[in-house]
C-alpha cells in the first residue's frame, strides 16, 4: 500500500515537473511519508524514477489492453465482430488516447537508459499481449476472419491503429478529418471480417 502511494506520487511528480526537476522530498510529502521511509523502499532517486515510470507505463498499457479487448469478449458471430469493431472505432477517437500514447513514449525513451525500467516495461508489454491474445484467438478459432488474417495479425493491426501512434494533428500532407478517418477504419474493419453465407 505504501509502495503504491509512493509510486503514484513519483509518477505524478514526473508528469508535473519532469525528470530534471524531479524532487524526492516532494514525492515523500505527496505520499504522506518521510524521505527516510521512502528510501526503505527504493535504493536511490534513479531506482524510484525507474519504478515510477514502469508503474505508470503498466497502468497505461494494461488499461489500453482492457479497452481494446472489452468489445471483443464473448463474440460468436461475424455480425457481432463487425459491431464490436464499429464500437472500437468510435471509442478510439477519444482525445485521452493521445495523452496515453505520449505517456508511453516518454516512459519508453527513459527505459532505454535504465535496465530496471526497461525490464519492467517489457514485462508490462508481455502481460498486455497475453491478455489481448486470450480474447482474440477464439475469434480466429471460430473462423470470423477472412482467409489469411490471423488473430495475432488482427490484434497487431487493430491495436496499432488505436494506440500505437501519436495523433498527427495540424495541417500537413497527412491531415484527415475525423469523419473521413472513421469511415476508412470502418472499411478496413469490414474487409477483415468473414462474410457469412
> Per residue in 101-142, pLDDT tens?
555 556 556 666 778 888 888 898 899 999 999 999 999 999
Q: Which of 107, 78, 85 is nearest to 18 (CA)?
A: 107
- The rounded mean pLDDT for the chain is 85
* DSSP β-bridge partners for residue 193: 145
Per-residue model confidence (pLDDT) at position 141 = 96
Cα separation, 164 vs 150, in Å, equals 19
Q: Which of 62, 56, 75 is nearest to 144 (CA)?
A: 75
148 is written with which cell numbers?
489469411
Asked if 14 and 22 count as a contact pair (C-beta separation under 8 A), the reply is yes
> Per residue in 163-195, pLDDT tens?
654 455 566 777 777 778 778 888 988 899 998
pTM of the shown model: 0.78
Amino acid at each position: 500500500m505504501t509502495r503504491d502511494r509512493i509510486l503514484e506520487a513519483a509518477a505524478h511528480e514526473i508528469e508535473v515537473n519532469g525528470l530534471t526537476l524531479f524532487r524526492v522530498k516532494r514525492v515523500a510529502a505527496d505520499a504522506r511519508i518521510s524521505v527516510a521511509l521512502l528510501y526503505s523502499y527504493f535504493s536511490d532517486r534513479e531506482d524510484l524514477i525507474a519504478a515510477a515510470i514502469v508503474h505508470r507505463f503498466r497502468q497505461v498499457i494494461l488499461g489500453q489492453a482492457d479497452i481494446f479487448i472489452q468489445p471483443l469478449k464473448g463474440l460468436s458471430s461475424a455480425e457481432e465482430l463487425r459491431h464490436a469493431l464499429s464500437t472500437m472505432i468510435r471509442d478510439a477517437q477519444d482525445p485521452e488516447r493521445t495523452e496515453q500514447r505520449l505517456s508511453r513514449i516518454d516512459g519508453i525513451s527513459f527505459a532505454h537508459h535504465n535496465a530496471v525500467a526497461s525490464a519492467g516495461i517489457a514485462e508490462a508489454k508481455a502481460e498486455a499481449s497475453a491478455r489481448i491474445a486470450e480474447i482474440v484467438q477464439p475469434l480466429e478459432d471460430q473462423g470470423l476472419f477472412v482467409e489469411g488474417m490471423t488473430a495475432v495479425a488482427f490484434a497487431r493491426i487493430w491495436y496499432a491503429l488505436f494506440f500505437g501512434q501519436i495523433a498527427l494533428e495540424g495541417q500537413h500532407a497527412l491531415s484527415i478529418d475525423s469523419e473521413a478517418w472513421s469511415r476508412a477504419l470502418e472499411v478496413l474493419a469490414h474487409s477483415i471480417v468473414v462474410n457469412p453465407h
